[in-house]
A and B are shown apart, each in its own frame.
Chain A
Amino acid sequence: MTVASDVAGGSRHDRVPAAYAVLDRLDGRVLEVNEAFVTLLGRPRETLLAGSWSDLLTVAGRIYSETHLMPMLDLNGRVEEVALDVVADGGRIPVLLNAVLDRTGERASIRVVLFGASARRRYETELLRATREAQEARQQADELARTLQQTLIPPVPPAIPRLEVSAVYRPAGDGDEVGGDFYDVFNVGPSTWVVVLGDVAGKGVRAAAVTAFIRHAVRDLAMQVADPADLLHALDRALHARPTERFCSAVLLRLTEDDAGWSIAGAAGGHPLPILGRRDGTLVDLGRPGSLVGLLDDPLFTTFTHRLAPDEFVTLLTDGVTEARRGRELFGEDAVRDVVRSRASDPDGVSAAVVAAVVDYQAGLPHDDIAVLTLHPSAPDGAVR
């Protein structure tokens, strides 16, 4: 007994449980089809044998076949698990295709096996759609975070008559993550300015939302509360009143100008103290440490005051500076002071120098945000600086 007879256009592969066809490599004519192929395509065997491979494909399938399948078959000898739609009598049928190139005959031929793959392809299409949606959602989230960060990057400080303010902000890493550092400089009276610099716990969009809240709250409260310690208390209560668990550290200065120059009232909450420097390189801390803002039930903040001499400057910085790490080693307060001291003769360059030193210390990729702000009285008109 043999089933390998070629009777009435039949195929010796009629009993093979997969749709099988042989094509001419050069012109794509269909040379042989088995019973399962006839059944899958739902077209008479004679029709199939009178046609060519491209008759069985959608237009897109033809392009794919010509640009991908055939070159790979020619150069590689075979292809496997290629997804295509074939055009059957009843419409399109998704299939997976395996094919080999056979050069043994007079003319090269292609042996093709098709597997109906409707259910699988539906599932895959769903997965693909879900993957695309996930990618799009991620892109949108990234975009949102970036946009948000752009709006939260502390602004260039305003120009203040007779007071020089220079501030530098450097986001963590390569700068694509929304951080929690902030600063703000604004006017609350004819000759009164408020400077605030702080750091919200955590990173990302949630921290950024709290940062935005704090900046607005400070601006609002500063119009009502003059004393810096009282203002930090008010901010502490405002943060407690929010449903989130976020807290921050902050240092706040209120600068007032009178005939004798600038005087400062300030307070710090859970934050490195302001550094008061003189051009001769002397550095001292201003004020006393205070509690983190928005964390404790009974926080402590203390207002200090200081009259700024013409040769003095004040530098505020976030803990991204002092706590910058290299392995297990900290940059530390002494290193910060060394940098500040080295630039004391030219306070305008202090902020940039500190940030550059910290970034450099961490090989260009700081782990945390860094914000540094320096202010000093302008040189009197006509004076040589």
Chain B
Amino acid sequence: MSVVARHQVSVTGPDGAAPMLFAHGFGCDQAVWSRVAPAFTDEFRVVLFDHVGAGGSDLTAYDPRAYATLDRYAADVLEICEELDLRDVVFVGHSVSAMIGVLAQVADPGRFARLVLLGPSARYVDDDDYVGGFAASDIDELLDLMDSNTFGWQQPLAGLVMPGPELVEDRGVLDASFCRLRPDIAHDFATATFLGDNRDDLARVSAPTLVLQNRHDTIAPLSAGAFVRDRIPGARLEIIETSGHCAHLSAPAETIAAIRGFVSP
């Protein structure tokens, strides 16, 4: 299976334009970019994809051992870039994909022109003086909660977390695979996301970086964004006046403006 099919990669925008690659975070799939990505398709070759395990990705490509850490996810990003021959990529990553972008850029510095990190946190669990915002027990509880919400989706139904049939009808233009994640994969991805620690990777980032943090974000607080800005050489931090963790959904216009200001100075 090709990398493009493996990640249900979609490409929109003029050939030859600079590529802008959007990477979704934990909990959904590429559909979350539906209010932001279209704003860039005139000037950029906009590339969307699903992480393996999410949305319309190829579930057979999932190997729990390989995907136990974010490195494999970062390798996937690089494989997509390679397959599509993307150069000077503007990488826009939300939440955990911000760190996936950091890892990808560190692994292949020449590939990326700029990084936009939306709601990043280099470590979610508190550690001595570092405030990530969560205790390890919170994360265990989250894993249990996710299991509760996949109830009824265990084998032999092959377990896809998806909304009930009523929602499918209501979905309209959205893709049928919207926000579905196989329970075991969701469990692993949450573990890799929330129990990871990428603080030491930040200093090795060499691309110009914009950190976008939401004013009131219970998952990645302002302090997490400030930490990322302070550690990545030359990084800028901009604050989006919104609540919650998904500015691309709750404040798409501000998100678009911030990205545009950064990529077309």
Contact = CB atoms under 8 A, between A and B. Distances in A.
> Which 10 residue pairs of A and B lie closest in terms of their CB atoms, listed nearest first?
A67-B27, A60-B141, A60-B142, A66-B245, A83-B148, A59-B138, A74-B249, A27-B243, A71-B28, A68-B27
Given A66-B245, A131-B154, A27 B142 contact: no
A298 to B, nearest CB: 49
B237 interface: no
Contacts of A141: none
Counting chain A CB atoms within 10 Å of each CB, which of B34, B147, B178 scores highest? B147
A129 B151 CA distance: 11
A75 B249 contact: yes
Interface string A39-70: 00000000000000010001111111011101
Contacts of B164: 80-81
Q: On chain B, which size bracket covers the interface?
A: 35 or more
Nearest to A62: B218
Contact of B149 (A25, A82, A125): A82
Nearest to A25: B250
B262 interface: no
B144 interface: yes
Contact of B243 (A26, A61, A71): A26
Given A66-B245, A75-B34, A83 B170 contact: no
B174 A75 contact: yes
Given A54-B218, A63-B138, 10 more contacts: A58-B138, A67-B95, A70-B245, A70-B249, A72-B178, A72-B179, A76-B174, A78-B167, A82-B149, A124-B148
Contacts of A121: 148
Contacts of A78: 166-167, 170
Given A78-B167, A128-B147, A66 B216 contact: no
Interface residues of A, number: 37
A26 B217 CA distance: 11
Contact of B250 (A26, A62, A81): A26
A66 B179 CA distance: 13
Interface in A1-54: 25-28, 54
B145 interface: yes
Given A72-B179, A76-B178, A83 B151 contact: yes
Nearest to A124: B151
Contacts of B142: 59-60, 63-64
B134 interface: yes
A66 B219 contact: yes
Interface string A288-330: 0000000000000000000000000000000000000000000
A84 interface: yes
B102 interface: no
Contacts of B179: 68, 71-72, 75-76
B218 A75 contact: no
Given A27-B216, A68-B179, A74-B246, A80 B166 contact: yes
B124 to A, nearest CB: 9
Contacts of A68: 27-28, 149, 179
A58 to B, nearest CB: 6
18 contacts: A25-B250, A59-B134, A59-B142, A62-B218, A66-B27, A67-B219, A68-B149, A70-B246, A72-B178, A72-B179, A75-B31, A75-B32, A77-B170, A80-B167, A82-B149, A124-B151, A135-B154, A135-B155
Contacts of A127: 151
A277 to B, nearest CB: 45
A355 to B, nearest CB: 29
A67 B134 contact: no
Contacts of B216: 27
Contacts of B14: none
Given A74-B250, A75-B32, A80-B167, A67 B145 contact: no
Contacts of A353: none
Contacts of A335: none
Contact of A66 (B141, B149, B218): B218
Contacts of A135: 154-155
Interface string A138-160: 00000000000000000000000
A64 B243 contact: no
B118 to A, nearest CB: 13
B227 interface: no
B110 interface: no
A128 B194 CA distance: 23
Given A67-B219, A75-B34, A81-B164, A128 B174 contact: no
Contact of A84 (B31, B145, B217): B145
Contacts of A60: 138-139, 141-142, 144-145
A71 B246 contact: yes
Contacts of B148: 83, 121, 124-125, 128
B59 interface: no
A188 interface: no
B26 interface: yes
A79 interface: yes
A5 B244 CA distance: 32
